[in-house]
Structure 1
Amino acid sequence: MVESGVRYLDIGEAEAGQRLDNFLLRVMKGVPRSHIYKILRSGEVRVNKGRVKAQYHLTTGDQVRLPPLRQAEPSPSPTVTAKLADDLRARILYEDERVLVLDKPSGLAVHGGSGIAWGVIEALRALRPDIRELELVHRLDRETSGCLLLSKRRSALRQLHAEIREGGMQKRYLVLAAGAWRGGEQRVDLPLRKNTLRSGERIVCVDKGMGKAAATRFSPLQRFANCTLLEAELESGRTHQIRVHLQAIGHPVLGDEKYGDPDANAALRETGLRRLFLHASLLCFTHPGDQRVLRVEAPLSANLQVLLEDLARRDGRQGGQTLAAS
């Protein structure tokens, strides 16, 4: 462990626009996320000598006071194997001088922490050291695959975060849900509250009293005997939102070990499902440079596509009962 004294950090143009908690998570490497939020709540972190909330957006000229801390030794950069490097390169769906969109594989975390030494962002930084300001614009659960947006410039990150806050970024997912879906499109509007268990595990539940607003639109795409392929469009971006909303209405995501149905998961495991069936299929956003609208899509992986074809054959309907997306 390394012990540091009080530090004062001056915010320049490169850091301006970031939320304070995200800034601290980046500069306080090795400090548990829970401890960072604890020192924010207690007022040990100050901005311009005053107490501020985690959601405060930094501005040029701000001075941030960090209290004395014991931090873990900085983790060495991950060793990116040739196989992983080739896989990550092949998964780049779009890239220019400001943004990069990756088709994240299931099973790879987006960043290190909570017992995970490193994730996508650390691997890409090791693989592409020339990109000095590479940052995650948003996050995906470890077991979720698909479109993951990263910024290559701090100015781009600020603009993209602003677009997310204003609800301008479109995110669509493909999800296989347990049970027979009745009717067409359904909007689920249920507030969600996030808790952290003593073990450090994050758990989210519907809480109409203390939860934060969250809404998801679900549209059926393909019906099978005991499950339904849905397209989910986020109207908000809460942790585990799709998974908890589907659990709440009785159609949990198949392959979900946290919020799912154990019996339904076991039945699909025999068919070949070895992961969470949740895939970020589409991302639509305004380019932070020339302001054009970018639409990036990630196809389903071969194993998930094969699973759908097998389900259709089992139902005796070649191609399943395909429905038009709304």
Structure 2
Amino acid sequence: MYTGKSYKLLEFIVWTRKSIYLLLIMSIIPTVLHEYLELKWLGISWTVVALLGTATAFIVGFKNTQTYNRTLEAQQIWTQILSTSRSWGIMSRDFVSNPEKTKLLIYRHIAWLTALRYEMRSYRVWETSTKKHNSEYQQYYYIIPENEITLKEELSKFLSPIELEQILKARNKATQIMAMQSKTLKELYDNQEIVVLQFVDFQRTIKDFFTQQSRSEQLKDSPYPRQYAIINTLLVQLFCVLLPFGLLKEFDKLNDSISGIMHGNMVWFVIPFSVIISWMYTSLGQVGESTENPFEGNANDVPISKICKTIEIDLREILAEDNLPDFPQPQHDIIL
């Protein structure tokens, strides 16, 4: 998540520079052919290009709206996890008289958060964090916490060696950790360490955690519909290719009303203007692409690592612990 006031223009240009290079080449070629080889027929009707540009603008806007909605949904899911986790900590302390069991329930919950966030950071084939412009940006501006330390090392802080070995063998580690929680609660109830209403409240909370986990997993494993993604990419590419051809005649006409040094040379303005207009479309597409998967490790992701660390600090404070981890700080105004 970007926490600064705004991305710097230079920073944004560097991020999109490969598109700029390509757009520059695509605008230079038709202009040179038009001027030096006298291929005047290369100029096409501006009306055709304008209609294509309008259709492309609609579909690019539609995609960006939908990708923002995916990020908003992810933020809502993890905000609910944050809220319910705090309730879990209070219930574990106040419902259970045994301090060891209280610590067990709270530490296992932190382990559940850890397993879930590591799963959310795992790679899917449709994600874009490995694309060169994103991986370069990540290399210089921020780190992904889940890439710095292994899941085993993280879980070992909160689970016993026996539980750790069992969880590492599971396919869905978060689910199995929550299953352990339910089993422990059943034992507490059978031993009359909690009453039936407390047991029911605990189970309702576990059900809520499972609901939020499933919503998060569904968002992770359901990409932005590929049919819309490909048509968006194709329309943007087609528009960028045709735009300089559509501008040739328009700028050539300006020579009739221009005198002096620019007379006869107005067509060269096709290059900068076509690059600027095309860059606007490709940049919108690139921004939408980088926000459609809110857990993959891009700069605009939902900060699930920060949320989990916040929960860990809150829950361990409930246990009155002193050796708390440091609160995560943004790196170059970016925090995950």
TM range (shorter): under 0.3
**Given the two structures, how large is their TM-score scaled by the length of structure 1?**
0.20
- Structure with greater contact order relative to length (CA < 8 Å, sep ≥ 6): 2
Query: Greater share of strand residues, 1 or 2?
Result: 1
